[in-house]
Homo-oligomer: A and B are copies of this chain.
Amino acid sequence: MISKNMADRLVSGSLIRKMFEEGNRLKSLYGEDSVFDFSIGNPDLEPPEEVSRALCSLALSPTPGMHGYMSNSGYLSTRTAVADSLSTPGIIVPPEAICMTVGAAGAMNAVLKSVLDPGDEVILLSPFFMEYTNYIENHCGIPVIVPTEPDTFLPDFQGISAAIGPKTKAIVINSPNNPSGVLYSEETLRKLNDLILSVDHLIHVISDEPYRELVYDGKHAPRTMDWIRNLIICYSWSKSLSLPGERIGYAAVNPNHEDFDLLSRAIVLSNRILGSVNAPAMFQKVVEFAIHAKSDISRYETRRNQLYEIVKQAGFSVNRPDGAFYLFVRSPEDDMAFCRKCAEYRLLVVPGSAFRCPGYFRLAFCVSEKTIFQSEKAFREVGKYYGLCTESSDEIITKSSPD
């Protein structure tokens, strides 16, 4: 007597969840250190010092009402700090543009509830974070999946154009991307904006940006608000400040959005009635204090370089990601079968099918350098099994063409 929809979901389960359970089984069998778990995007860096300082200060000097209700959109001081951090000389973001939420997932649900009527369509660019379809279906929307360009994983503008119809209400972008690690350039954002504005009705661009600060090689993610008019940013400090368990993020509407006033109010209302009510009070104050704090991104860059080399040396075909903390690697056979094979070598990886992109697998490199270092042999053995590299550990010959 649970709902039919949920009953179906419980039966099908989540691919990542299955990997997680298989991982636990292997870990209990062989010990934590003998299993190389690249399946989960849980940041392994601790939050920067500003977070601890803010927490200590709030805990040691409590103020009356600090755990009480505030406006459903969040504290004005927090929203102002966020708005200022998003403002540029060209675009002044007012605090009314910001709704504090329980992470980016809370923001996306509030945004989708605000814009979707039953049967409305939302374009997703595969590969994409698997929860997007759930979020859309929560609000009776229909996901329309458009594959990205082969190999580059950049938007296929012709494909998007062909997928747009009268029911298209929104498109979701996510750069740096989970799982591909691809970073969209200013030119890509400009083209997308042009395409969206050429349509005869309003289409919202929902930009899921939890990885915005996780960009390597001295590059930076372009500010989406500078390039896309009908933009709604969904942000979370989960990755940038390593706070995923605390559920703190925001939705931000571009002040130039054609429907700014109604939309920003609808998001606050949705945030309330979906049950979040408001973002957690204390962590609103923490992120306000730590608004300019940064995790040590170089640690992730080191891990990326390390794992990228290992995977390439084992003979796999993979792009070097510009951002996020994932490698998205060509699978030498059916990706589901490949992941099962990897588990035999105690390597836990997620099949591309989980991201609606079969033929690939994802590695999360937000794990310790020690784990990455120790996984080398396992990757080489898998590579050898598939004939991607030769036996000798000193003289690796790659058979596929990397990059």
Is there an interface contact between A2 and B262, defined as CB atoms closer than 8 Å? Answer: yes
Q: How many copies of this chain sit in the oligomeric assembly?
A: 2
**A139 → chain B closest CB, angstroms:** 8
User: Do residues B103 and A245 form an inter-chain contact, with CB atoms below 8 A?
Assistant: no
Beta-carbon nearest neighbor of A42 in chain B: B69
Select A40's contact among B69, B113, B246, B270, beta carbons within 8 Å.
B69
Q: Which of B58, B67, B106, B275 contacts A243 (CB 8 A)?
A: B67
Is A55 engaged at the interface, CB distance under 8 Å to the other chain?
yes
User: Are the CB atoms of A245 and B60 closer together than 8 Å?
Assistant: no
A269 and B52 contacting across the interface, CB-CB below 8 Å? no
Which of B1, B139, B247 is within 8 Å of A259, CB to CB?
Answer: B1
Q: Chain B nearest CB: distance from A356 CB in Å?
A: 16
Interface of chain A residues 15 through 61 with chain B (CB within 8 A): 40, 42-43, 46-47, 51-52, 55-56, 58-60
Q: Are B131 and A281 in contact (CB under 8 A)?
A: no
State whether A276 and B2 are in contact (beta carbons under 8 Å apart), knowing that A58-B59, A244-B69 are contacts in the complex: no
Contact A270 B102 (CB under 8 A): no
Q: Is A273 an interface residue, CB under 8 A from the partner?
A: yes
Judge whether A352 is part of the interface by a CB distance below 8 angstroms: no
List 23 A-B residue pairs with CB atoms under 8 Å apart, sorted by A's residue number: A1-B259, A1-B263, A3-B139, A6-B270, A10-B265, A10-B269, A42-B69, A46-B65, A51-B67, A56-B60, A66-B245, A67-B242, A67-B244, A69-B244, A105-B275, A106-B275, A108-B275, A110-B275, A113-B138, A135-B273, A140-B140, A245-B280, A247-B280
- Residues of A participating in the B interface, judged by any CB pair closer than 8 Å: 1-7, 9-10, 40, 42-43, 46-47, 51-52, 55-56, 58-60, 62, 64-70, 101-103, 105-110, 113-117, 120, 131, 134-135, 138-140, 169, 201-202, 204, 242-247, 258-259, 262-263, 265-266, 269-270, 272-283
